[in-house]
Amino acid sequence: MTTKAAPSAWRDPVALLAAPAVLYLLVVYAFPLLWLFMKSLTGPGGLTIQPYVAFLSDPFNWRVVGNTLRVAAWVTVVCFVIGYPAAFALARAGAVLQIVMLVSIILPLSVGAVVKAFAWQIVLRRDGIVSQTLVGLGLWDEPQRLLFTETGLVLGAANIFLPFMILPIYSVVKLIDPRLSEAGATLGATPLYRFTHVTLPLTLPGIVSGVAFVFSMSVSMFVIPSLLIGDRFQTLATLTGRSFLLMRNEQLGSTTAVILLVLAVSIVVGSTWLARRIGGSQT
């Protein structure tokens, strides 16, 4: 008795449905990235790695990389500190309150980053609500300006990227049976022990996904730093835009863009690998 071989992916008619999407990604995403990569390796004498050597040998560029990673890390930390408990509140809320909270989280995503960044310019001014609130609480003696500071950039970016931390964690938390914590309590486990040994391990896949989303977007943000801190604080994304738009240095812009892409892709790939390891260890 002979068995019929399964059709390959290329011969499966259903697989052909993905052809338009694959073609679209090749045209508008893969080819431009390939062009950037080849542009960064092209010099007067042909292919060369001199642009990367020159970039990495400049101390200023290392400060730019440090600025990029530091701001992205702080934005991710702030989003996690706020988003982790918010995800639990969203998952455990009643039906009506959950809908209201979901709308409150998702609706701001329809507003462009430019509009929200301009709004944060008003909030972070010397006479803005943040400064006035801190003075009212007695934390500051007089109003101070947070606009065009690294703290203001972190606060504004965290507000914009916060939904991308809450939603992945929420999608995992809502699948956790609340009775697991109750069962641990009946066995004498303290709240801290139940959190560190039951709740936290079960939510790690959502945490990893949220961190990957927020960190990768924070690393590559361009409009938000331009509006909230200005040109005196350079990141890889702003340096890339400045190289193309102001200095007209396509090779420098291509080099910084490739380095930025490598950082972002490394974060996503590393987080995906970590999420699979975590998921495999829990099965």
Q: Position of tokens 């961190």? A: 211
Residues of 32-63 as b/e, b for ≥16 C-beta within 10 angstroms?
eeeebeebbbeeeeeeeeebeeebeeeeebee
Q: How far apart are CA 95 and CA 182, in angstroms?
A: 22
Considering only CA atoms, which of 235, 231, 251 is closest in space to residue 243? 251
Domain ranges within the chain, ordered by starting residue: 48-110+151-281
Considering only CA atoms, which of 179, 175, 199, 196 is closest in space to residue 187? 179
Tokens matching residue 208: 């990893």
Supply the pLDDT for residue 1: 47
3-class SS at 230? coil
CB half-sphere exposure, 80, CA atoms < 13 A? 19
Q: How would DSSP label each residue in 198-225?
A: IIHHHHHHHHHHHHHHHHHHHHT--HHH
> Residues in the chain, how many?
283
Considering only CA atoms, which of 40, 44, 71, 45 is closest in space to residue 244? 40
Supply the pLDDT for residue 105: 92
In 11-140, DSSP assigns E strands to 42-43, 46-47
Q: What is the pLDDT along the chain (283 residues), one digit of tens a residue?
A: 455 555 555 566 777 788 888 899 888 888 988 998 998 888 777 788 999 999 999 999 999 999 999 999 999 999 999 999 999 999 999 889 999 999 999 998 888 888 999 899 888 988 888 888 888 888 888 888 888 899 999 999 999 999 999 999 999 999 988 888 778 878 888 888 888 888 888 898 899 889 999 999 999 999 999 999 988 899 999 999 999 988 888 888 999 999 999 988 888 888 778 777 766 655 5
* 100 alpha-carbon distance from chain centroid: 24
pTM of this prediction exceeds 0.75: yes
Domain at 48-110+151-281, CATH homologous superfamily: MetI-like (1.10.3720.10)
